[in-house]
Amino acid sequence: MPTKIILAGEGGQGVQTVAKIIAVTAQRSGKNSSYLPAFGVEQRGGVSLAYLQISSKPITYPRFAKADMVVAFCDRAIPAIKDFLSKDTLFIYDNSVIKNKSLEKIKNLINNYLAMPALALAKEKLSSKVANVVLLGGIIAHLKEIDYQEFEKTLLEEFADKIIKKPEIKDLNLGALKAGIEIAEKFNKEETPFSGIEATEIKTNFSKEKISWQRFPEYCKGCGLCIVRCPTKALQFSRDSGFLGNPMPIVTIEKCIGCGNCMQICPDGAIKVEKST
Amino acid sequence: MPETALPKSWNKESKPHKFCPGCGQALALKILGQAIDELDIQKKMIYATDIGCSLLSWSMFNVDTIQTHHGRTLPLSVGFKKAKPEAIVVSFTGDGGGYAIGAQHLLNTAMRNDPITVILINNANYAMTGGQLAPTTLLNQKTTTAPKGRELAQGKPFKGPEMLAQITSEDAHIARGISTNYQQLLEMYKKAISNQIEGRGFSFVEVIAMCPVNWHTDAQQSLDFAEIEMAKIYPIGELKCPQK
Amino acid sequence: MKKEFLMGSETIVKGAIAAGAQMMTGYPITPTTEIMEHWAEEAAKNPALKFLQTEDEMSAGFAMIGAILAGVKAFTASAGPGNVLMQDAFSMAENMRLPTVAFIGQRGGPSTGTVIYSQQELNLTCFGGNGEGLRIVYSTAGGQELYDYAIKAFNTAWKYRFPTFVLTDGYQNKTQSSVEIYQPQEKQVEIVSPTPYLLNPQKQEGTFTHIRNTYNLEQELADVLIDYKKHFTEITPEILEFEDYHTLDAEIVIFAHGIVAAAAKLAVDSLRNEGKKVGLFRPITLNPFPKESAINAVTNKKGILITESSLGQFERMVKSNIYPANTPIFTLKKPAVGIMPEEIIEKINQIFSEKGNNA
């Protein structure tokens, strides 16, 4: 029987990259593998699924109904993966991203889980962009039949172009992979309950005399256009995340002149600036 | 809940919308929402949208909306307008829908001076399918189907408004804007739609828009490519404005 | 009762007007051009009738859809390669349950083929596009039927909201004959009123209509289609039409549709005069197909003769619907060529003398 893995996350969270790296590595290690990306019509912004199978025998059908491993990158992945859970499924999720409210909906279906603070760890020690590679580490820790070195090799090949431009990307990715494996190996259900984060209040309103600056995490995709458009460099990325998990901008209100450039350039309606006269 | 920064005519149920981070098309639609608000036409208009990334806008507005087939948004709009002349018809399409698969419709609609407003997004590639060559791709610009960059043998970057200015009557409104210039684009939209409302006929606004995901650019690079590289080839401004 | 001597295309236009049609879109193609020309003439006289000559058939199809969304009874007419291009629009009409009405004048194919006659657009008209064939298709046999079914097509389309077709050919469109022109009310036919899909003044204040043809998830689309199919099946008994001509005591039953059925009818009359027990089963609705009636008509017969101006499009349709009937099947198939009653008579006589070849 093949090992069946389903991965789900926001488009742009790197779900497909993780699936591809595993599939390619399995193939190279003499296994058969099958990887089917499945997403909606949008390029980014929808829930993106990846069907992955690894087997010693040829794999003829790319889809499946129940998975041995389910990997959830975000809250919106939960409804999408629910039907793939069985009593033997290992559920891997980012407990620094997924909210308790979402986990509540599948609690009864989970027997075996691995909670990984992937985004929090990546943000703190590496870069938020490698959170997916932390989760990759968690997955491959359970794929013992494939040599770890092979995963490293594929990972570096995947980012070869980017590494040429920014050499530090190599260490960020390798660091994330190792961190992920370490979390998985040390994981103990007794110490880490099946839980996520509580919905936290993000400071959204900033104001000074005559100027009010507001941000809307429920709309912000973290594109950064506002930051580069600010004439006084009053904006920068913050540690707070928008709904996709990407960093959100924050204002240094003292520097804000209330010109509204950031509001006008925002494709998502995630910033509001008001200036009273 | 704090009051939002969304245009009043945006459908809040479908937000956040499904366009990529930093998408210039979404920005063009935000400004269109503002134009709809300022002209107060939400209940008098229909919005018809094409296939391509434009399909993601099928529930963008609190406006009666029809999503059509690729390239066929203009004929549908023309049929609607003919059947119900008092309705304001705004057609939204990409450079694939308008300049390639539906080019014959754009040409003939313009030639007949059909009284509809067409907004066309020029992001120099086919974005929904992952960044292929478009009629608007710049020379030397790399796409998935022009991996070495567009060569002259694949045609010169296509200048829609310039062509339309040649073939339309003097009553037509033809302009090219850019999604990064809020006020200017807002005025272009309002003039174009007013041209229809006032019964002069066809109106067209091409909008230069960023596509960071397929251009593989960060925020600053996206703005530079749109505002400098693209604007060099595709000059921004009004080509025909009967209201002047 | 008013009898007029009319060309088929003109009869269609008069039927459409009687049905309350308000707008036509189209691009000229033989043998349906005269439908456009007659409509254009009517529209020039009557400002309530609108006309749009478009740049191609895709545009004609989608402009028709635009008008329908505005709540106007719009229609189009096309043929052959034009019908191919129009499938783009019909596919969307199927996806959105839009009451499009199209008069298809079959001409020879594939490709540009010949310009007047065939029965080769059965597959395309009934099942064209990348969908499930949730369409209603009437196959007429010329003359009076063009008027009757023009009226019926608009009513069916607007009542049930499935794309509706009247399948004709150049023989029917170009033949001039005597037709009874009546107002539908005279025959107790109630005309179904159109309602707008967009900017409907009846809709609740502050609500907006969003119509799409693209779905995100496999199941999302499947649910829509299963629901459509359920409706289609439910309304099928109300829509089904066929002509049963002496099949009850017949030993051999001819299957033919459209104008070929008119030839077959003459053949049946002639053979019956000679004392030969022959009947005709003619489906008028090709989609949905009168399956149960067709099965009844073939049960315990000596043989079936399927005849058509195509190399088997109708044959395949009949066979799949009467399966598992084990009545021997004979065929007379001539692609894009008219079939004379004499040829049918000859074929039947061969079958009676057991010289006919099984298909």
Per DSSP, the residues of C191-211 read PPPP--SSS-TTSPTT---EE
Contact C282, C256 (CB under 8 A): yes
Q: Choose one of C187, C221, C253: the last residue of a domain.
A: C187
Whether residues A228 and B130 touch (CB distance < 8 A) is answered with no
Average pLDDT over residues C227-234: 98
Mean pLDDT of chain A: 93
Distance from CA of C101 to the nearest CA of B (A): 15
Residue B1, pLDDT above cutoff 50: no
The stretch C232-248 carries a mean pLDDT of: 98
CA dist A68 and A91 (Å) reads 9
Among the partner residues C56, C63, C70, nearest to B84 by beta-carbon distance: C70
Give yes or no for a contact between A26 and A33, defined as CB atoms under 8 angstroms apart.
Answer: yes
State mean pLDDT over A115-143: 95
Q: Do residue A41 and residue B213 have CB atoms under 8 angstroms apart?
A: no
Do the Cβ atoms of A62 and A34 come closer than 8 Å? yes
Distances (CA, A) of A31 to A37, C99, C272: 19, 54, 74
Under the banding of pLDDT at 50, 70 and 90, the label for residue A99 is very high
CB contact under 8 A, C212 and B58: yes
Q: Chain B residue with minimal CA distance to A248?
A: B21
Cα C93–C96–C97 angle (5° rounding)?
A: 75
C226 in a structural domain: no
The percentage of chain B sitting over the pLDDT mark of 70, rounded to a whole number, equals 99
Interface of A with B (CB under 8 A): 12, 40-46, 204-205, 214, 216, 218-219, 221-225, 227-229, 243-244, 246, 263-272
As given in the structure block, the two tokens for residue C80 are 């052959």
Q: Which residue in C62, C196, C210 is closest to B76 by CB distance? A: C62
Interface test with B, best of A75, A264, A272, A273 (most B CBs within 10 A): A264
Tell me which residue of B61, B40, B62, B198 sits closest to B117, measured CA to CA.
Answer: B198
Residue C228 reports pLDDT greater than 90: yes
**Whether C52 and C178 share a structural domain:** yes
C248 and C174 in a common domain: no
Subunits touching A (CB < 8 Å, at least 3 pairs)?
A: B, C
Is the confidence at residue C311, as pLDDT, over 70?
yes
pLDDT at position A241: 85
Q: In chain B, which residues have their Cβ closer than 8 Å to the Cβ of C54?
A: 75, 78, 108
Output the six-digit token pair for B145.
């189907």
Mark which residues 42-71 of A lie under 8 Å from C by CB.
Answer: 46
Query: Which residues on chain B are in Cβ contact (under 8 Å) with A263?
Result: 5
Q: Is C48 on the interface with A (CB under 8 A)?
A: no
Residue B56: band (very low, low, confident or very high) from pLDDT cuts 50, 70, 90: very high
Asked whether residue B148 is assigned to any structural domain, the reply reads yes
- Does C183 lie in the same domain as C248? no
Residue B234 has pLDDT above 70, yes or no: yes
The residue of chain B nearest to residue C49, with distances taken between CA atoms, is B83
Looking at the partner chain, which of B55, B71, B78 has a beta carbon nearest the beta carbon of C66?
A: B78
| Confidence grade of residue A47 (pLDDT, cut at 50, 70, 90) | confident
Residues B171-198, mean pLDDT to the nearest whole number: 98
Q: What is the pLDDT of residue A41?
A: 64
| Domain annotation covers residue B233 | yes
Residues paired with B10 in a beta bridge:
B61
- State how far the Cα of A244 lies from the Cα of A10, in Å rounded to an integer: 7
Inter-residue contact B238 to B57 (CB < 8 Å): no
- Indicate whether B42 pLDDT > 80: yes
What ipTM score was computed for the predicted complex, to two decimals? 0.97
C201 compared with A42, residue with greater pLDDT = C201
| Residue C232 in domain | no
Q: Answer yes or no: is pLDDT of C226 > 50.
A: yes
pLDDT at A42 over 70: no
> In this predicted structure, what is the pLDDT of residue C198?
98
**Which chains, if any, share at least 3 CB pairs under 8 A with chain C?**
A, B
User: Which neighbouring-strand residues pair with C77?
Assistant: C103
Please indicate, yes or no, whether residues C346 and C267 belong to a single structural domain of this protein.
yes
Taking residue C181's Cβ as centre, other Cβ atoms within 10 Å add up to: 15
The whole-number average pLDDT for the span A49-64 is: 95
Contact call for A41 and C216, based on CB within 8 A: yes
Residues of C in contact with B72 (CB under 8 A): 58-59, 61-62, 88-89, 92
pLDDT digits (tens, 9 = 90+) for B111-159: 999 999 999 999 999 999 999 999 999 999 999 999 999 999 999 999 9
Residues of B contacting chain A (CB within 8 angstroms): 2-7, 10, 15-27, 30, 53, 55-56, 127-128, 130, 179-180, 182, 212-214, 218-220, 222-223
Q: What is the mean pLDDT of residues C336-342?
A: 98
Rounded Cα–Cα distance for residues B93 and B72 (Å):
9
Task: Answer whether residue B6 is part of any domain.
Answer: no
Say what the pLDDT of residue A10 is.
83
Answer for the pair C77, C36: CB distance below 8 angstroms, yes or no. yes
Whether chain B has a CB inside 8 Å of the CB on C52: the answer is: yes
Contacting C residues, span 199-258, partner chain B, CB-CB under 8 Å: 199, 208-214
Nearest by CB to B20, from A43, A205, A266: name it.
A43
Residue whose entry in the numeric block shows the structure tokens 């229809």: B196
Regarding whether C253 and C134 lie in a shared domain, the answer is no
- Among all residues of chain B, which has the CA nearest to that of C87? B69
Residues C120 and C250 in one domain: no
Closest CA to C268 of C279, C257, C258: C279
Alpha-carbon gap: B119 to the closest alpha carbon of chain A (Å): 17
For B22, the closest of A216, A263, A267 (CB atoms) is A267
Average pLDDT over residues A168-190: 96
Residue B7 resides in a domain: no
- CA torsion through residues A67, A68, A69, A74, sign: positive
The mean of the pLDDT values for chain B is 96
How far does the CA of residue B165 sit from the closest CA of chain C (Å)?
20
Q: Which residue has the higher pLDDT, B2 or A86?
A: A86
Q: Does C60 touch chain B if contact means CB atoms closer than 8 Å?
A: yes
Residues of C in contact with A36 (CB under 8 A): none
Residue B214 confidence (pLDDT) above 50: yes
> Mean pLDDT across the stretch A92-96?
96
Question: What is the reported pLDDT for B4?
Answer: 86
* Averaged pLDDT, C23-38: 98
Q: Which residues of C touch B108 (CB under 8 A)?
A: 54-55, 59
CATH of residue B34's domain is: 3.40.50.970
Handedness of CA A91, A97, A100, A104 (dihedral sign): negative
Q: C339 near C266, Cβ under 8 Å?
A: no
Count how many domains chain B has: 1
Domain co-membership, C76 together with C150: yes
Residue C1 has pLDDT above 80, yes or no: no
| C275 part of a folded domain | yes
In B97-208 the beta strands, taken as DSSP E runs, fall at 117-122, 173-178, 203-208
Q: Is residue B68 part of a domain?
A: yes
Closest chain A CA to residue B23: A267
C199 assigned to some structural domain: no
- H or E element in which residue B165 lies: helix B160-167
Flag if B72 and C58 touch (Cβ within 8 Å). Answer: yes
Residue B201 belongs to a domain = yes
Taking CB atoms and an 8 Å limit, are B5 and A267 in contact across chains?
Answer: no
- Band of pLDDT at residue C258, cut at 50, 70 and 90: very high
Instruction: Return all residues near B55 (Cβ < 8 A) that are at least 6 apart.
Output: A41, B49, B67, B128, C212, C214
User: Over 70: is that where the pLDDT of C357 sits?
Assistant: no
Domain co-membership, C161 together with C292: no
Domain harbouring C50, CATH code: 3.40.50.970
Nearest to B16 among A43, A228, A268 (CB): A268
Number of structural domains (chain C) is: 2
Residue type, C88: D
Q: How confident is the model at residue C2 (pLDDT cuts 50, 70, 90)?
A: confident
Yes or no, beta carbons of A46 and C216 under 8 Å apart: yes
Mean pLDDT in chain C? 96
Does C248 lie in the same domain as C183? no
Cβ atoms < 10 Å from Cβ of A189? 11
Do C179 and C266 share a domain, yes or no? no
Chain B residues with CB-CB distance to C88 below 8 A: 69, 72
Residues of the domain holding C306: 244-352
Residue C282 confidence (pLDDT) above 90: yes
Residue C209 CA to its chain's centroid (Å) = 31
CATH no. for residue C278? Answer: 3.40.50.920
Residue C23 scores a pLDDT above 70: yes
- Looking at CATH, the fold of the domain delimited by A205-275 is given as Alpha-Beta Plaits (3.30.70)
Res C349 pLDDT > 80 = yes
- Averaged pLDDT, C311-337: 97
pLDDT at C359 over 60: no
What is the C-alpha separation between C336 and C151, in angstroms, rounded? 28
C173-222: per-residue pLDDT in tens?
999 999 999 999 999 999 999 999 999 999 999 999 999 999 988 889 99
Q: Is A160 helix (H, G, I), strand (E, B) or coil?
A: helix
> Chain A neighbours among C 211-250 (CB < 8 Å)?
214, 216-217
Q: Are B56 and A41 in contact (CB under 8 A)?
A: yes
Per-residue model confidence as pLDDT tens digits over C270-280 = 999 999 999 99
| CA pair distance B121, B164, nearest whole angstrom | 15
Return the amino acid letter for C313: Q
Q: Where are the beta strands (DSSP E) in B72-202?
A: 88-94, 117-122, 173-178
The last residue of one of the domains, among C171, C187, C203, is C187
* pLDDT value, residue C287: 98
Residue C150 sits in the same domain as residue C15: yes
The reply to whether C58 touches chain B by the CB within 8 Å rule is yes
**Inter-chain touch B56–A205, beta carbons under 8 Å:** no
Q: How far apart are the first and last CA of chain B?
A: 43
Any idea which of A33-42, B75-84, C114-123 has the lowest mean pLDDT? A33-42
C284 has pLDDT over 50: yes
In angstroms, the CA B156 to CA B136 distance is 8
Average pLDDT over residues B186-214: 97
- Is the separation of the CB atoms in B22 and B30 below 8 Å? no
Distance from the B78 Cα atom to the nearest Cα atom in chain C, whole angstroms: 6
More confident residue, C337 or A128: C337
Nearest CA in chain C to A38: C217
> How distant is the Cα of C93 from the closest Cα of chain B, in angstroms?
10
Which residues of chain C lie closer than 8 angstroms to B81, CB-CB? 66
Is C219 inside a domain boundary? no
Cite the residue boundaries of each domain of chain A with CATH code 3.40.920.10. Answer: 3-186
Looking at per-residue pLDDT, the higher value among A201 and C172 belongs to C172
Quote the pLDDT of residue B2: 45
The CATH code of domain A3-186 reads 3.40.920.10
State the DSSP H helix or E strand holding residue A225, giving kind and residue range, or none if neither.
Answer: helix A225-229
Mean pLDDT calculated for residue range A186-190:
94
- The reply to whether residue B5 touches residue A216, judged by beta carbons under 8 angstroms, is yes
| Count of A-C CB contacts under 8 Å | 5
